[in-house]
Structure 1
Amino acid sequence: MLEYNVTARRIDHHGSEAGTKGARIVLDTDMQGRDDAFNPAELLLASLAACMLKGTERVLPMLDFNLRGMDISLHARRQDSPPKIIRIDYEITVDTDESDQRLDLLHRNLQKYGTIYNTLTAATELVGTIRRKE
């Protein structure tokens, strides 16, 4: 079983930071918001995107999949009472010459084996597509 550790601390009323290993990330915890940091909902979306990108790196050699690049766009909807994310939509755009069937295979692998993906799909509606870059 894998385990993960992150520490976080308040810097001041404008923000905080989180760290793990040798990495640090600035957190938007200012009540007015900050343009130079991710807020908690944006961190959640970034975590999902990172999960899919890392999953892609894991399955590329197994699938012998030819990939030149990948972009992921995500959008979340939040309800106010009780506050929670009720739906996440994503679109994966892949720069590849692989067939549509192989694109679908990649997508299924990302859905089936993604830790963050599986955690979120158990908690909220997660809807996504994969398409070839034009």
Structure 2
Amino acid sequence: MNYHIKASSFSNDDAMVHIRESHINFGTTSKTLPNPAELFLTSFAACILKNVERFSVMMKFSYDKTLLEVNASRLENPPRMDKIIYKLTIYSNDKKLNTELLKKNIEKFGTIYNTLKQSCSISGSINTV
């Protein structure tokens, strides 16, 4: 599988990434738009949430919504992400939801998750409400 995106910027202005029919602004000069590190973590979050949806079908559980918090620490030299910690809350009353198996599947089959764990530590938890 291959992926393709485009991005553009103008001098002394912010930038935009073009993905399919979406256009996402991000900050290269602004403090109000997401910066590249936050977009990086957004990709990690999207990976987890996509896998919740994917595995809800495979594991036959239902849920109303999810809430995901992601925190990361950055090293300065060389600048890179060092540690990522996530907390996933799933709003579900379904007894078929096995959070331990879901976590194992997210960690085993997440493309972004597996890419990141090669370069930094990742820890997380899944809770239900």
1:34 counterpart residue number: 31
**Displacement after TM superposition at 1:100 (Å):** 9.4
Correspondence for 1:115 among 111, 115, 124: 111
Q: Residue in 2 aligned with 1:25?
A: 24
Q: Does 1:15 align with 2:14?
A: yes
2:92 pairs with 1:96: yes
Distance 1:76 1:68 in 2: 27
Structure 1's unaligned 5+ residue stretches are none
Q: Please say if residues 7 and 19 of structure 1, whose CA atoms lie closer than 8 Å, have aligned partners that are also in contact.
A: yes
> Equivalent residue of 1:123, what SS?
coil
CA–CA distance in structure 1, aligned partners of residues 44 and 96 of structure 2 = 23
Q: Output the aligned Cα RMSD.
A: 1.6
In 2: Cα distance, 1:123 partner to 1:8 partner: 25
The SS at the match of 2:3 is: coil
How many pairs does the alignment contain?
129
Q: Secondary structure at the match of 2:10?
A: strand
Structure 2's unaligned 5+ residue stretches are none
Normalised by the length of structure 1, the TM-score is 0.89
Partner Cα separation in structure 2 for residue 71 and residue 97 of structure 1: 15
